[in-house]
């Protein structure tokens, strides 16, 4: 923890903090100067992370809730923000889904759920406290998207659509809110070892640990980087695929195993 970070982030909220990248971020920001607001559905997992953050000296409030329950999410975020004006909100909670093993379509219920949690959960989280941040003229919003936002991968259509929308929404907010002193950052991780990446049945090149991901994110958030994409080789590869003509991009996605599961 750098001393530079302490005055900037005293009150930090992280959605999806019970495991994976969100839990690693919670630990990254845990220190005696911070009050953390940690959101997730699994109370047991959330309490374990909260205890580890408290052991590092942080004060922790947990929000055991489903972010697709908008009234409950809004109430919790506003109540936290009232007590502890939010310096940094990281909208990290997310789920994924894939087409079937033989190329079957994703059930529409699964598509709706992915969009509901990944996209609308992000937008509702931000809206809950945006007015307060704007009144204060201070705050930072970090939206967790994915390198999958750069190019729709045939095996995960709904997930890629949700993450592309999150990226686009964040980019719009950054331009809109910068003159008011609100910072907005879009985080696009490649593969990070977690329950989510375990469920992804395709090659996972350059996979990193959640701790490393959290360190990279924290280092770049303090610098207010617009786009926090990593790791470098996969970032470059996805950017390249995004600008290639469609058939060539498809060829590269195919040989990488991202066109069909089998």
Ligand X SMILES: NC(=O)c1ccc[n+]([C@@H]2O[C@H](COP(=O)([O-])OP(=O)(O)OC[C@H]3O[C@@H](n4cnc5c(N)ncnc54)[C@H](OP(=O)(O)O)[C@@H]3O)[C@@H](O)[C@H]2O)c1
Question: Contact residues for ligand X (CB under 6 A)?
Answer: 16-22, 39-42, 45, 66-68, 92-95, 117, 144, 146, 189, 191-192, 194-197
Minimum CB separation from ligand X for residue 84, in Å?
20
Question: Hey, is 6 helix, strand or coil?
Answer: helix
Question: Shortest CA distance to 213 belongs to which of 198, 194, 233?
Answer: 194
Minimum CB separation from ligand X for residue 142, in Å?
11
Which residue of this chain has its Cβ atom nearest to ligand X in the complex? 20
Minimum CB separation from ligand X for residue 137, in Å?
28
Kindly report the backbone phi and psi dihedral angles of residue 30, in degrees, each rounded to the nearest multiple of 5, phi listed first. Answer: -75, 120
Minimum CB separation from ligand X for residue 119, in Å?
11
- Which token pair is 4? 């530079």
Distance from C-alpha of 241 to C-alpha of 147, rounded to nearest angstrom:
11
Sequential DSSP letters for 206-260: T-B-HHHHHHHHHHHHTTT-SEEEE-HHHHHHHHHHHHS-HHHHHHHHHHTT-S-
- Which token pair is 87? 């310096």
Minimum CB separation from ligand X for residue 113, in Å?
8
Whether the CB-CB separation of 228 and 187 falls below 8 Å is answered with yes
């Amino acid at each position: 923890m750098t001393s530079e970070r302490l005055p900037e982030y005293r009150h930090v909220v992280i959605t999806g903090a019970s495991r994976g990248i969100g839990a690693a971020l919670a630990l990254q920001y845990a220190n005696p100067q911070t009050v953390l607001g940690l959101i997730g559905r699994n109370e047991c997992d959330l309490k374990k992370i909260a205890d580890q953050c408290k052991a590092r000296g942080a004060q922790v409030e947990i929000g055991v809730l489903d972010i697709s329950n908008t009234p409950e999410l809004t109430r919790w975020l506003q109540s936290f923000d009232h007590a502890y004006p939010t310096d940094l909100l990281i909208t990290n909670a997310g789920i994924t889904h894939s087409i079937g093993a033989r190329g079957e379509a994703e059930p529409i219920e699964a598509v709706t759920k992915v969009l509901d949690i990944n996209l609308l959960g992000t937008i509702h989280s931000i809206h809950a406290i945006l007015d307060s941040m704007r009144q204060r003229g201070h705050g930072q919003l970090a939206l967790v998207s994915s390198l999958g936002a750069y190019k729709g991968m045939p095996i995960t259509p709904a997930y890629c659509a949700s993450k592309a929308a999150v990226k686009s929404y964040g980019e719009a907010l950054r331009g809109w809110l910068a003159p008011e002193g609100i910072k907005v950052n879009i985080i696009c991780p490649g593969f990070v070892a977690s329950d989510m990446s375990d469920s992804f049945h395709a090659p996972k090149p350059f996979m990193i640990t959640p701790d490393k991901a959290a360190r990279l994110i924290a280092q770049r958030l303090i610098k207010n980087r617009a786009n926090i994409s990593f790791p470098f080789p996969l970032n470059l590869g996805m950017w390249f695929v995004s600008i290639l003509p469609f058939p060539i991009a498809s060829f590269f996605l195919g040989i990488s195993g991202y066109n069909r599961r089998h």
